[in-house]
Amino acid sequence: MPTVSKTSSAVLAATAVGIGLARVLQVERYHRRKLALHAAEMHQAWLSDVASEPALRAAWATQGESLSSDDYALLVQCNRQVSLLSAKFRAGLLNRHTLRIQARWLMKREIGRTYWREFGAFREQEAQDRVDRVFNRILADEYVAFSDPDAVAA
């Protein structure tokens, strides 16, 4: 009879450890999402500053770039939209389907296509995980769908 009690206690202990571990992982995931959203918030504020301050635009624009300061400001504003979509996708506020709808809306506009043509490769280089790669692939697909084939090949 004592073996049943020991077995039951062992099962209960293992269950409690499993539940505790699941809770710790859930809290860690929540904390990472919260940090990512906070970082995105700071990034949005910084992009706003760059877009509105000519001196910051000049400092951050790529040397030798053929874009005017105003055109670069528009691309920085587009980066705000792309970064917001990225943060929402990472946080689970957009799934692949809704991200594709948003990416299609963005790429229907010349500014979206210009942004992706100029900076899409950089976003792909800086991708750190599967979430970033899926995000970039969806935006790239929509870019190709709405771009002139000659511009995509260049």
Residue-wise pLDDT tens digits, 15-51: 777 777 777 778 888 888 888 888 888 888 888 888 8
φ, ψ at 55 (rounded to 5°): -65, -40
User: In 3D, which of 52, 59, 106 has the Cα closest to residue 76?
Assistant: 52
Task: Check residues 97 and 5 and name the one with the higher pLDDT.
Answer: 97
Residue in the block written with tokens 């859930």: 26
What pTM, to 2 d.p., does this model score? 0.76
